[in-house]
Amino acid sequence: MGVNSNRVEDFSSHRINTESVMPGIEIHTVCLSPKKTTLQKLKQRLSEIFFPDDPLYRFKNQTWRKKLLLGLQFLFPIFQWAPEYRLKLLRSDIISGLTIASLAIPQGISYAKLANLPPIVGLYSSFVPPLIYAILGSSSHLGVGPVSIASLIMGSMLSETVSPRDEPIRYLKLAFTATFFAGLFQASLGLLRLGFVIDFLSKATLVGFMSGAAVIVSLQQLKGLLGISHFTSKMQFIPVMSSWSWQTIVMGFGFLVFMLTTRHISMKRAKLFWVSAAAPLTSVILSTLLVFCLRSKTHNISFIGHLPKGLNPPSANMLYFSGPDLELAIKTGIVTGILALTEGISVGRTFAALKNYQVDGNKEMMAIGFMNMAGSCSSCFVTTGSFSRSAVNYNAGAQTAVSNIVMATAVLVTLLFLMPLFYYTPNVILGAIIISAVIGLIDYQAAYCLWKVDKLDFLACLCSFFGVIFISVPLGLGIAVGVSVFKILLHVTRPNSLIMGNIKGTQIYHSLSRYKEASRVPSFLILAIESPIYFANSTYLQERVLRWIREEDEWIKANDGSPLKCIILDMTAVTAIDTSGIDLLCELRKMLEKRSLKARLSPNQSHLALVLTNPVGSVMEKLHQSKMLDSFGLNGIYLAVGEAVADISALWKSQPDFPEDCNETRQCKETRR
End-to-end Cα separation, the chain, in angstroms: 12
Closest CA to 574 of 545, 543, 542, 614: 614
The residues pairing with 509 across neighbouring beta strands, listed in sequence order, are 502
Count how many residues are written for the chain.
673
Closest CA to 105 of 117, 80, 123: 123
**Bigger pLDDT: 53 or 502?**
502
Q: Work out the angle between the directed axes of helices 473-493 and 203-225 (0-180°, nearest 10).
A: 170
What whole-number percentage of the chain has pLDDT above 70? 88
The fold of the 2-32+495-672 domain, in CATH, is Transcription Regulator spoIIAA (3.30.750)
Q: Mapped to the 3 state alphabet, what secondary structure does 129-171 carry?
A: HHHHHHHHCCCCCCEEECCHHHHHHHHHHHHCCCCCCCCHHHH
- What is the rounded radius of gyration, in angstroms, for the C-alpha atoms of the chain? 33
The torsion angle over the Cα atoms of residues 335, 337, 338 and 341, rounded to 10 degrees, is: 160
What phi, psi does 570 have (nearest 5°)? -80, 115
Q: Is the CB of residue 282 less than 8 Å from the CB of residue 425?
A: no
Helix (H) or strand (E) holding 556: helix 538-559
Q: Work out the angle between the directed axes of helices 148-159 and 203-225 (0-180°, nearest 10).
A: 70
Give the least confident one: 62-66, 436-440, 514-518, 535-539.
436-440
Give the least confident one: 264-268, 447-451, 609-613.
264-268
What whole-number percentage of the chain has pLDDT above 90? 27
- What is the per-residue pLDDT for 20? 42
Pairing verdict, β 384-386 and 25-27: unpaired
For 629-639, b/e burial (b = at least 16 CB within 10 A) is bebbbbbbbbb
Mean pLDDT of 46-57: 76
Q: How far apart are CA 389 and CA 17, in angstroms?
A: 61
Q: Cα separations (Å) of 417 from 123, 281, 311, 420?
A: 13, 17, 11, 8
pLDDT surpasses 80 at 33: no
Q: Is the CB of residue 641 less than 8 Å from the CB of residue 613?
A: yes
Q: How far apart are CA 440 and CA 279, in angstroms?
A: 15
Q: How far apart are CA 523 and CA 516, in angstroms?
A: 20
In whole numbers, what is the pLDDT of the chain averaged over residues?
82
**Bigger pLDDT: 384 or 148?**
384
Q: Cα separations (Å) of 456 from 269, 442, 452?
A: 35, 20, 11
Q: How far apart are CA 494 and CA 517, in angstroms?
A: 28
pLDDT surpasses 80 at 91: yes
DSSP secondary structure of 63-96:
-HHHHHHHHHHHH-THHHHGGG--HHHHHHHHHH
Mean pLDDT of 428-434: 84
Pairing verdict, β 509-511 and 19-22: unpaired
pLDDT surpasses 50 at 669: no
CA angle 160, 162, 166 (to 5 degrees): 125
Q: Is the CB of residue 152 less than 8 Å from the CB of residue 340?
A: no
Q: Is the CB of residue 92 less than 8 Å from the CB of residue 385?
A: no
Which residues have a Cβ under 8 Å from the Cβ of 185 and sit 6 or more positions away? 333, 334, 337, 338, 369
**Helix, strand, or coil here: 397?**
coil
pLDDT surpasses 80 at 598: no
Give the least confident one: 79-93, 555-569, 598-612.
598-612
Cα atoms in the Cβ-side hemisphere of radius 13 Å centred on 418: 12
Q: How far apart are CA 21 and CA 349, in angstroms?
A: 52
Mean pLDDT of 597-619: 72
- What is the per-residue pLDDT for 665? 44
- What is the per-residue pLDDT for 174? 95
Mean pLDDT is highest, among 270-279, 309-318, 351-360, for: 309-318
**Helix, strand, or coil here: 309?**
coil
Tens of pLDDT, residues 225-275: 776 655 555 555 566 566 667 778 888 889 889 988 888 887 777 677 677
pLDDT surpasses 90 at 367: yes
pLDDT surpasses 60 at 661: no
- What is the per-residue pLDDT for 470? 87
Closest CA to 501 of 517, 485, 477, 486: 517
Dihedral sign (CA 457, 460, 462, 464): negative
- What is the per-residue pLDDT for 377? 95
Cα 286–chain centre separation: 41
Instruction: Specify the domain boundaries for CATH 3.30.750.24 within the chain.
Output: 2-32+495-672
